[in-house]
């Protein structure tokens, strides 16, 4: 049986950060990842279209206080200082005038502000209880709530929503956020393709059971998603405390997917890294979708859908997702755009057994439970990841920070107890 001081489970942004901190501190560790790659929900694809695009997280959210901004500067990565609010709006195949676009944007902002106001006042209710149900822009509002929180407003706690810290600086990374996450931890050793099945914390330390054998350690840092944990993806002995299990269940992942197209050349009339929403106001079957057009000058359109619709269209399969995205492109660019599409791809985060969705959101009435997630279990196990990141939940930088915090806890535990039992 292998013995070490710390076992880190999962090589996403949190696990990589935790392992990197342990490495600097000289603490023996083993980093285990079920997939044959690192990054978790941060992965940059350069092979499908020959240019980089992110299948998962992409923006440096709250960029001025985001630790990955400084990491990008140090590693020579490039990002664009722009606002995702600079978007165009197309209704029924026609672009709106500025006044209509601004009215739609104001309706979205009003919904977010209503949720913030309720949460800051201590109200822990469904977001749907506080937004304008009669707004003519409700379908677009729900779409943007789904992109922001990955769930419909009926399933989002206003208290949790208001706890999110946002500087409203969302800067896209040219080489890809996934590539940045991987490069930041390139020197961290990781065992890929090793699935953790169980963690026994009944003794003085922990015994971690994997498909490749058992490991004995003083502590374990677990960074897998709350959905994987809620589904019993890792068996704990003894079972996790009831209050922690309740928090995990309350903060499982919602849903968000991408539908991506490559053209023969960048589309005209759109500056590099432009944004556009389109939907059919009088056709409920035509849900809204947001596109990033010509990102960094590449001939791509990256479509974003979230919430219930994201799960519904993904369940219909790849062909249905592409057909939906293609129809939306026609609304923006006209029927001839189909002739210029060279290839298309889609994501499948909700169907991924190692992920199970997009990012975490606390359910109504349970907004305060998120604070339980990073609390150590028996001083031997600690959870990390975006769900455990306090005011930076749902972000890669939040996962990174939570990994660093978990590592500091583990460093403090070294020498306090022997490995295993």
Amino acid 416: pLDDT: 54
With tokens 């003794």, the residue in question is 203
**What total of structural domains would you count in the chain?**
2
As a whole number, mean pLDDT of residues 336-343 equals 96
Q: How confident is the model at residue 87, as a pLDDT?
A: 84
Burial class (CB in 10 A: 0-12, 13-18, 19+), 283: exposed
104 with 216, same domain: the answer is no
Residues 342 and 373 in one domain: no
Q: What is the CATH number of the domain that holds 105?
A: 3.90.660.10
Domain extent at residue 112: 89-167+253-346
Q: What confidence score (pLDDT) does residue 421 get?
A: 40
Are residues 187 and 162 both part of a single domain?
no
What are residue 163's phi and psi, to 5 degrees?
A: -80, -15
In whole angstroms, how large is the CA radius of gyration of the chain? 22
Q: Are 31 and 11 in contact (CB under 8 A)?
A: yes
Percent of the chain at pLDDT above 90?
94
pLDDT in tens, 243-294: 999 999 999 999 999 999 999 999 999 999 999 999 988 776 679 999 999 9
**Quick check: 157 and 365 in contact, CB under 8 A?**
yes
Candidate from 54-68, 200-214, 407-421 with smallest mean pLDDT? 407-421
Say whether both 248 and 260 belong to one domain: no
Q: What is the pLDDT of residue 419?
A: 54
pLDDT tens digits, one per residue of 150-171 = 999 999 999 999 999 999 999 9
Instruction: State what percent of residues in the chain have pLDDT above 70.
Output: 97
Same domain, 239 and 387: yes
* Pair 151, 266 in one domain: yes
Same domain, 208 and 195: yes
Residues 260 and 246 in one domain: no
Q: Which of 346, 379, 402 is the last residue of a domain?
A: 346
Looking at the fold, whether 163 and 269 belong to one and the same domain comes out as yes
How far is the first Cα of the chain from the last one, in angstroms, to the nearest whole number?
Answer: 12
Same domain, 245 and 376: yes
CB 23 within 8 A of CB 186: no
Q: Using one digit for the tens of pLDDT, what is the confidence trace for 296-327? A: 999 999 999 999 999 999 999 999 999 999 99
Q: Do 258 and 163 fall into the same domain?
A: yes
Residues 6+ apart with CB under 8 A from 336: none
Contacts of 89 (CB under 8 A, 6+ apart): 95, 96, 100, 101, 104, 276, 277, 278
- Residue 16 domain-assigned? yes
CATH code for the domain of 215: 3.50.50.60
Each residue's pLDDT tens digit, 190-230: 999 999 999 999 999 999 999 999 999 999 999 999 999 99
Res 46: pLDDT: 97
- Looking at residue 282, its pLDDT comes to 77
Check residue 222 and give its pLDDT: 98
Taking a C-beta distance cutoff of 8 angstroms, is the pair 199, 236 a contact? yes
- Tell which of 298, 323, 346 closes a domain: 346
> Comparing C-alpha atoms, which of 210, 201, 205, 220 is closest to residue 406?
220
Shared domain check, 271 and 403: no
The answer to whether 205 and 6 are in contact (CB under 8 A) is no
Mean pLDDT (the chain) is 95
**Among candidate residues 313, 346, 379, the one where a domain is terminated:** 346
Within a domain: 124:
yes
DSSP structure class, residue 252: -
Give pTM, 2 decimals. 0.96
């Amino acid at each position: 049986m292998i013995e070490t001081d710390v076992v880190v489970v999962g090589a996403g942004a949190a696990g990589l950060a935790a392992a990197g901190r342990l490495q600097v501190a000289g603490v023996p560790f083993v980093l285990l990842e079920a997939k044959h790659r690192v990054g978790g929900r941060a992965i940059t694809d350069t092979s499908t279209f020959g240019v980089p695009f992110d299948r998962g997280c992409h923006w440096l959210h709250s960029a001025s206080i985001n630790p990955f901004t400084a990491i990008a500067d140090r590693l020579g990565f490039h990002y664009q200082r722009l606002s995702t609010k600079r978007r165009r709006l197309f209704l029924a195949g026609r672009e709106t005038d500025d006044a209509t676009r601004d009215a739609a944007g104001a309706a979205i902002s009003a919904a977010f502000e209503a949720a913030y106001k309720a949460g800051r006042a201590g109200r822990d209710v469904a977001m749907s209880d506080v937004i304008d149900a009669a707004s003519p822009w409700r379908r677009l509002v729900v779409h943007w709530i789904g992109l922001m929180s990955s769930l419909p407003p009926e399933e989002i706690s206003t208290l949790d929503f208001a706890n999110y810290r946002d500087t409203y600086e969302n800067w896209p990374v040219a080489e890809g956020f996934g590539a940045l996450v991987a490069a930041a931890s390139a020197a961290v050793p990781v065992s890929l393709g090793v699935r953790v099945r169980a963690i026994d914390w009944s003794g003085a330390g922990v015994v971690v059971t994997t498909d490749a054998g058992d490991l004995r350690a003083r502590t374990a840092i677990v960074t897998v998603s709350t959905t994987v944990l809620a589904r019993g993806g890792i068996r704990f002995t003894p079972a996790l405390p009831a209050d922690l299990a309740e928090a995990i269940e309350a903060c499982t992942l919602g849903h968000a997917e991408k539908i991506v197209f490559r053209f023969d050349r960048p589309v005209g009339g759109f500056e590099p890294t432009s944004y556009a929403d389109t939907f059919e106001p009088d056709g409920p079957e035509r849900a809204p979708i947001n596109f990033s057009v010509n990102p960094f000058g590449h001939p791509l359109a990256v479509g974003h859908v979230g919430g219930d619709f994201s799960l519904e269209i993904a369940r219909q399969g790849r062909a249905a997702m592409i057909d939906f995205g293609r129809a939306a492109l026609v609304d923006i660019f006209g029927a001839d755009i189909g002739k210029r599409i060279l290839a298309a791809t889609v994501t499948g985060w909700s169907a991924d057994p190692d992920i199970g969705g997009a990012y975490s959101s606390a359910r109504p009435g349970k907004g305060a439970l998120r604070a339980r997630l990073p609390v150590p279990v028996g001083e031997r196990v600690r959870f990390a990841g975006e769900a455990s990141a306090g005011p930076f939940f749902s972000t890669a930088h939040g996962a990174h920070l939570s990994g660093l915090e978990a590592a500091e806890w583990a460093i403090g535990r070294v020498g306090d107890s022997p490995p295993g039992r």
